[in-house]
Amino acid sequence: MVKILPENLNQLAVMVEGAHCAACIGKIESCLDREPGIQHARLNFTTQRLNIEWSGSPSRANDFVDRVESLGYKVRPFESFRQTSTEEEKFLLLCLGVAAFSMGNIMLLSFGLWTTNEQTMGMATRDFMHWMSALIALPAILFAGRPFFRSAFRALRSGTTNMDVPISLALILTSGMSLFETVHHGAHAYFDSVVMLMFFLLIGRYLDHRARRQARSAASDLLGAVSGFASILEEDGHIRRLPVSALKPGMKIRVAAGEKIPADGLILEGETTIDTALVTGETLPREARTGTHVYAGTVNMSSPVTIRIIKAADDTLLSDIIRLMEKAQQAQARYVRMADRLARLYTPVVHTLAALAFFGWLGMGMAWQPALLIAATVLIITCPCALALAVPVVQVLATGRLMKSGILIKSGDALERLACIDTVLLDKTGTLTIGQPVLQDNNIPPEILRPAASLASYSAHPLSRALKKSHEGPLLTFTDVQEYPGKGLEALYQGEVLRLGSRDWCGDRNSPAGTHMELWFSRGEEAPTVFYFSDKLRDHSTETLRALQKHGLEIILISGDRAEAVADMARQSLIAQYHAEMTPVEKYEVLEKLKSEGKKILMVGDGLNDAPVLAGADVSMSPATASDLAQNAADIVFMSEGLKPLLIAYETALLSQKLVEQNFALAILYNVFAIPLAMLGYVTPLIAALAMSGSSLVVIANSFRLHGGKT
Amino acid sequence: MSVLLYIIPLALFLGLFWLAGFIWSLKTGQYEDLEGAARRIFLDEDDH
C-alpha cells in the first residue's frame, strides 16, 4: 500500500474515521509531525483521507497507523473510487471557470453591440466585435462544453438520448450559425447566448455532482466492517499487521479485548465473552472458550484470544449477509429519479419541436439560415436549465440543513424516496432503544451499590457498565480482580470475597426468575442481592412515533430479540404491530412481503442483521452508533441520542419534495409560454438565453425558501 | 473608436489573469477540502 516516491520518500494514503472537528485535525497531524522523518502529514477533512510522506524505511507505515489508532481513530485502507470523483469535480470547476471568463469578456463586447446599432458604430466595428467574441467563445465552448458533448456522445453511441443531446445540439448549432453570420457580415451572432447557457448549465452540473459526491463520501466501503487491519500470529511468534482482505483460512490471529473479530474462526486459546449484538441483535454477550465458533463482525469483550481462521474474509457469515444485501440493492436499483423520468419525456419532445419549427418555416418559404436559427432558439429556450437546477439546488440546501442537525444524507435521491414512504420498519435494540441496559431499581442501599458498582467497573460487560453508571460518587479500588468468563467478577475486599455475576455462580438459584436481565452480587456469606436491568427507549421516541403516525405512516417493530422484551418495548412506545425473534433472513422476508403489497418502506436499524433490510427497503436510516455495515447500507445516518431525526428528516423530505415539484411546475410553465413564441420566430437567441437564465434564477430563489420554511 | 484597441486587450488580459489565478488555485488543491480549511483557522500554528 505504501507508494515509493523519488528521493527516498514514501507515501501512504489511508482513510481515517472519527475526525469530526478542528481539534481532531490538529491532534492527528501534530502527533504525526512529531515522529522523526515525517515530511508531510495532512488530513483532508472532506474526504477523511490522511496523506503521509516520510523518508526512511517503508515498513514504518505500520507505526504511523498504530500511532493514529492509539489516538482513538479508526484507520482503513484507502479505496480509490473517491479519487476519480474529486477529479471529475475538479474538471467541472475548471470548465466553470473557463465559461465564467469567456462570459464576462463577451458580455463587455455584447453590451456595446446591444446598445448601439450598425449605423452608429459602423459595419467594420461590429464585425470586429463579432470576431473578438468568436475568438473568445469558440475555444471556451470547445473546452468547457466537453462535459455535455461527452455525455451526449456516450448516449448517442449506445442508441439512447439524454438531456445532454439537445444541450449539445443547441450549443453547436448556435455557435455554428453565429460564425456563419460573422463571416457574412450579418447581425445575428449569438456567442454571448451560447456561453451564458453553458455557464448556467455548468453550475447545475457542478451542484448536482457535489451533492452526489457528498453522498458518496459520507458512505464508507461496502465491505467496511471487514476492512481494516488484523494482527497475524506467525509461526515464529512474531505479530504482523495485515489488511483483513489478505487473511486466509489456517492463519492464526490475535484479537485483543475490545477488538472486532475479522473473520469466522475457531478459538484456539483463551476464554472470553463475545458481543454479538451487531450480528444477532441480542443485547447480552455470549461466552466463548477454546473450540467455540466465532463470527466476523462480532466484538471480543473481556480477554485476548487466539483464533484460527476457518473461512477467508470473503466467505464468512458476514459476507453471506453482504450477498443478501447486494441482492436487495439490485432489486432496489430500479428506482428512477424524478428528474430522469422527466428527462426521458422531455428530450424527444424538445427535439421534435425544434425539427418542427425548422421544417415548418422552410416549408413556408423561408431561407434555411433563419429557419435554423429559429430551431436553435427553440432548443435554447427549452434548454432544461431550470429543470436541471430544480432538483440539485434543493438537494444541496436540504442536505446542508440536515447536516447541521446531525443527519447525513448518503445518497442523492434519498430525500426524494423518503418523501414517498407509507410504512416505517423499526429495529428494537439500538434503534428504538439505546441498546444499553439501564438499572431499573434505584432504591438499592449505597453500602451494597458502591462495592458492586466498583467491582463492575473492572468489566466491559454491558450489564456491568450499566451498574457502574448508576452509581454516583467515588468508587472503591480493588487490587486483585479476577474475571471468570461466563460467570462474573471476583475480588477480595476487607477479607471478604466479593462476587458479581450470573445467578448460577453467585446468586440465589431458588428465587423466581423474571423476564428482566439480571446481575447478582454477593459479599462474603451474606444473602446475595439482585440487580434488574432493562433497555431504555431513545429520547423523544414516543413523540416522534406519534408525529409520524399523524403523517399517516404505519409503524412496525421488528427485532431479533426475545418475544417478551419486544412486546414490552412495543407497549412502552405504543406500537401496535411487532415481530420478534427474527433471523436476518426472516426480517428480509417480512420486507419482501410488505413490498409485494405495494408498500413504500422506510427501514430504521443498526445491526448487521438489519443490513439486508436496510439495503432492500425503499429508503433506510441508521444511527451513528450502528455497525459499519448497517451504516453503509443505510441511505441516511443520524447522530443523536434521540429518535427526533426521523421526524426532522421526514419533514424536510416532504418540504423539499414540495419545492422540487414547485420548481418543475415553474419550469414547465415558463416553457409553455416561451416555446410557442420561439417557434413563431418572435424570440432571438439572445432573449432566449436571458429568459432561460431568468427561469433558472426563479427556480433557485424558490429553492432557497427551504431555509425559511418551517419543519 | 481607437480606444477599443487598448480597452479590449486590457479587458482580455485582466480576464486571463483571473483565469490563470483560478486554474492555479484549482491545481494546487485549494478546492478539495473546503470544510477542513474552514475549521483549520481554529488551529494554533505554533503547537508543533
ipTM confidence score: 0.86
CA closest to A25 among chain B residues: B40
pLDDT at A315: 59
> Mean pLDDT throughout A543-553?
89
Residue found by looking up cell 476519480 in the block: A84
pLDDT at A134: 93
State the Cα angle at A678 between A677 and A680, rounded to 5°.
65
In A184-316, alpha helices (H): 191-218, 277-280
pLDDT at A336: 55
The dihedral sign for the CA sequence A136, A139, A142, A143? negative
Provide, as residue numbers in chain A, all residues whose Cβ is less than 8 Å from the Cβ of B23: 94, 97
Q: Specify whether the CB–CB gap between A308 and A346 falls below 8 A.
A: no
**Cα distances (angstroms) measured from residue A565 to each of A460, A500, A557, A579:** 23, 24, 12, 11
C-alpha to C-alpha distance for A182 and A186, rounded to whole angstroms: 6
> Mean pLDDT throughout A683-692?
74
Q: Which of B32, B34, B45 to mutate against chain A (most A CBs within 10 Å)? A: B32
Coil/strand/helix, residue A57: coil
CA closest to B37 among chain A residues: A45
Which residue spans of chain A are classified as CATH 3.30.70.100? 1-78
CB count within 10 Å of CB A410 equals: 23
CA closest to B15 among chain A residues: A101
> Mean pLDDT throughout A152-166?
80
A333-383 pLDDT, tens digit each: 445 566 667 766 777 777 788 888 888 888 888 888 788 878 878 877 776
Pick A46's closest partner by Cβ from B15, B26, B33. B33
> Mean pLDDT throughout A433-457?
80
CA distance A556 to chain B (A): 39
Q: Specify whether the CB–CB gap between A498 and A492 falls below 8 A.
A: yes
Quick check: A25 and B31 CB within 8 A?
no
Q: Where does the pLDDT of residue A215 fall: very low under 50, low under 70, confident under 90, or very high at 90 and above?
A: low
- Residue B33 contacts A where some CB pair is shorter than 8 Å: yes
Provide, as residue numbers in chain A, all residues whose Cβ is less than 8 Å from the Cβ of B4: 125, 128
> Mean pLDDT throughout A389-411?
77
Nearest of A588, A594, A638, A636 to residue A609 by alpha carbon: A588
C-alpha cell at A30: 501534530
Quick check: A93 and B18 CB within 8 A?
no
Quick check: B36 and A45 CB within 8 A?
yes
Listed in sequence order, the residues at least 6 apart from A658 whose beta carbon sits closer than 8 Å to its beta carbon are: none
Least confident piece of the model among A305-319, A452-466, A576-590: A305-319
CATH number corresponding to A407-434+537-651: 3.40.50.1000
State the Cα angle at A672 between A671 and A676, rounded to 5°.
95
Q: Where does the pLDDT of residue A623 fall: very low under 50, low under 70, confident under 90, or very high at 90 and above?
A: confident
Provide, as residue numbers in chain B, all residues whose Cβ is less than 8 Å from the Cβ of A136: 12
CA distance B19 to chain A (A): 6
Provide, as residue numbers in chain A, all residues whose Cβ is less than 8 Å from the Cβ of B8: 108-109, 132
Q: Specify whether the CB–CB gap between A153 and A147 falls below 8 A.
A: no
Segment of A72-86, A114-128, A211-225, A399-413 carrying the highest mean pLDDT: A114-128
pLDDT at A8 over 80: no
Q: Where does the pLDDT of residue B14 fall: very low under 50, low under 70, confident under 90, or very high at 90 and above?
A: very high
CATH classification (class only), A1-78: alpha beta
Which residue spans of chain A are classified as CATH 3.40.50.1000? 407-434+537-651
pLDDT at A584 over 50: yes
Q: Count of A–B CB contacts within 8 Å?
A: 66
Provide, as residue numbers in chain A, all residues whose Cβ is less than 8 Å from the Cβ of B16: 101
Quick check: B36 and A25 CB within 8 A?
yes
Pick the CATH number of A436-534 from 3.40.1110.10, 3.40.50.2000, 1.10.10.10, 2.40.30.10: 3.40.1110.10
Provide, as residue numbers in chain A, all residues whose Cβ is less than 8 Å from the Cβ of B5: none
A565-576 pLDDT, tens digit each: 788 888 888 888
| Annotation marks residue A63 as catalytic | no
| Helix or strand holding residue A659 (H, E) | helix A644-679
Q: Where does the pLDDT of residue A445 fall: very low under 50, low under 70, confident under 90, or very high at 90 and above?
A: confident
CA distance B39 to chain A (A): 5
Q: Which of A32, A40, A45, A202 to mutate against chain B (most B CBs within 10 Å)? A: A45
What fold characterizes domain A226-317?
A: 2.70.150
Q: Which of A208, A264, A427, A635 is catalytic?
A: A427
